[in-house]
């Protein structure tokens, strides 16, 4: 049985960990592909915004890829991002994240780390949304950061637009259905 020197093992681990850190302004994962889409920097966050094609969604799906360029944790609040849709008639409408389980909430991204999320947005109109304009500035939670708007084609996923239901309109379990939760 061969024993490896502890110094060698401890020397390799920090080198491997350093190779996995996000490099400021690189807009790509370490040893991975570049972030897709339009790129902006908001505070400590390098953010890329792109349309995400998904046959299952009803509204536009937006992909966010982000890296923390600072040496300290950074706030990431995807729920604070403001999205405005433009309809086929040119009307602008507020869009809201589709979050039936309430999982979108502020988080913390450790120093020199990266992440990605895809969020579907819906508008309270029956008209098709053809473009989604995303103000990324609120993601960092700093009100002093000026607006940073990125617009993306809403894609075919937004074609069968349905109004976002009011809470009173949501489906309620049928008490006579034994499979209803």
Q: What pLDDT, in 10s, does the model give residues 48-94?
A: 999 999 878 889 999 999 999 999 999 999 999 999 999 999 999 99
Lowest mean pLDDT among 77-81, 96-100, 139-143: 139-143
pLDDT at 32: 87
| Domain of residue 140, CATH code | 2.60.40
User: How far from 28 is each of 34, 35, 151, CA to CA, in Å?
Assistant: 4, 5, 21
Mean pLDDT value across the chain:
81
Q: Does residue 113 sit within a domain?
A: yes
Q: Is the pLDDT of residue 1 over 80?
A: no
Pick the more confident residue, 168 or 111. Answer: 111
SS3 166: coil
Are the CB atoms for 43 and 29 separated by under 8 Å? Answer: no
State how many domains the chain has: 1
Q: Which domain holds residue 143?
A: 22-164
Prediction pTM value: 0.76
Spatial strand order of the sheet with 149-153 comes to 38-42, 45-51, 61-68, 114-122, 92-97, 82-87, 129-135, 149-153
Q: Does residue 170 sit within a domain?
A: no
4 — pLDDT class (breaks 50, 70, 90): very low
Q: Does residue 57 sit within a domain?
A: yes
Q: Is the pLDDT of residue 175 over 60?
A: no
Q: Does residue 10 sit within a domain?
A: no
């Amino acid at each position: 049985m061969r024993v490896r020197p502890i110094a060698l093992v401890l020397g390799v681990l920090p080198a491997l960990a350093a190779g996995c850190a996000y490099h400021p302004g690189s807009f790509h994962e370490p040893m991975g592909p570049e972030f897709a889409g339009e790129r902006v920097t908001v505070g400590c966050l390098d953010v890329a915004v792109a349309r995400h094609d998904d046959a299952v969604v009803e509204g536009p799906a937006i992909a966010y890829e982000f890296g923390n360029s600072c040496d300290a944790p950074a706030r990431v609040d995807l729920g604070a991002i403001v999205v405005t849709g433009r309809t086929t008639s040119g009307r602008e409408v507020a869009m809201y994240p589709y979050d039936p389980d309430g999982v979108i909430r502020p988080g913390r991204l450790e120093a020199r780390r990266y992440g990605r999320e895809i969020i579907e947005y819906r508008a309270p109109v029956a008209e098709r949304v053809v473009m989604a304009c995303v103000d990324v500035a609120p993601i960092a939670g700093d009100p002093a950061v000026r607006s940073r708007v990125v617009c993306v084609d809403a894609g075919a996923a937004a074609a069968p637009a349905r109004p976002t239901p009011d809470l009173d309109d949501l489906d309620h379990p049928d008490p006579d259905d034994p499979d209803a939760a």
